[in-house]
C-alpha cells in the first residue's frame, strides 16, 4: 500500500530540486536578455552610423526615426526593468544571501545547526516562492522587450532604407 504523503526528507529534496530548476530559468532569462540587448544595440548603432545631414531629412524620416528610437528605447527600458536586482527576500533565510549577510557568523552558525528539517523545508519553499515571483516579473518584461524590438524592426528597416537612398551633395 502506498502513501500519498511524502516524508519530510522527500519534500525537502523536491523543494531543493524545484529551487535548482528556478535558478536554471534565471539563466535562460539572462541568455535571452543578452541576445535582445545585442540586437537593440546593433540596430541603434547602425541607425546612428547612417544618419544623413539633417537638412535632407523629410517629415516621414523624422517620424520613422522617432518611432524607431521610442521602440528601441522601450526595449532597453524593459530589459533594464527585467534585469534590475530584486533583493528583498525571506527574513532569516539560510538560502538567501542577503539574509545570511545580515547575520553575524555566530548567529548564522547557530541558526543553521539548530534548524529542524521542517524549518529548513519551509525556508526552501519560501525561497522557491520568492524566486518564482522574481522570474515572473523578469519574463513579463522580457516579453515586452521582444514586442518593442519587433515594432522597432519595422520602422528601423524603412528608416535605414531611406537613409541609404538619400543623395547628399554636402
What secondary structure letter does DSSP report for 92?
T
User: What residue ranges do the domains of the chain occupy?
Assistant: 8-164
* Chain CA centroid to CA 88, Å: 16
> What is the per-residue pLDDT across 36-57, written as a single tens digit (0 to 9) for each?
999 999 999 999 999 999 889 9
Supply the pLDDT for residue 20.
92
Residue 15 has pLDDT above 80, yes or no: yes
Q: What cell was used for 12?
A: 525537502
> What is the per-residue pLDDT across 150-166, written as a single tens digit (0 to 9) for each?
999 999 999 999 998 88
pLDDT greater at residue 133 or residue 94: 133
Categorize the per-residue pLDDT at 167 as very low, low, confident or very high, splitting at 50, 70 and 90: low
Burial class (CB in 10 A: 0-12, 13-18, 19+), 71: buried
Supply the pLDDT for residue 169.
52
Lowest pLDDT segment from 44-48, 66-70, 135-139, 165-169: 165-169
What secondary structure letter does DSSP report for 116?
-
Contact 115, 35 (CB under 8 A): no
Amino acid at each position: 500500500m502506498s502513501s500519498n504523503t511524502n516524508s519530510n526528507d522527500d519534500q525537502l529534496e523536491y523543494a531543493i530540486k524545484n529551487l535548482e530548476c528556478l535558478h536554471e530559468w534565471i539563466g535562460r532569462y539572462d541568455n535571452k536578455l543578452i541576445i535582445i540587448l545585442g540586437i537593440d544595440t546593433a540596430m541603434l548603432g547602425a541607425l546612428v552610423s547612417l544618419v544623413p545631414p539633417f537638412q535632407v531629412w523629410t517629415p516621414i524620416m523624422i517620424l520613422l526615426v522617432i518611432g524607431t528610437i521610442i521602440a528601441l528605447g522601450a526595449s532597453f527600458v524593459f530589459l533594464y526593468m527585467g534585469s534590475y536586482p530584486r533583493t528583498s527576500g525571506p527574513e532569516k533565510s539560510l538560502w538567501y544571501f542577503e539574509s545570511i549577510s545580515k547575520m553575524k557568523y555566530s548567529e548564522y552558525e547557530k541558526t543553521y545547526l539548530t534548524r529542524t528539517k521542517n524549518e529548513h523545508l519551509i525556508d526552501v519553499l519560501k525561497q522557491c516562492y520568492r524566486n518564482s515571483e522574481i522570474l515572473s516579473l523578469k519574463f513579463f518584461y522580457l516579453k515586452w522587450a521582444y514586442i518593442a524590438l519587433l515594432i522597432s524592426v519595422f520602422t528601423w528597416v524603412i528608416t535605414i532604407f531611406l537613409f541609404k537612398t538619400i543623395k547628399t551633395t554636402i
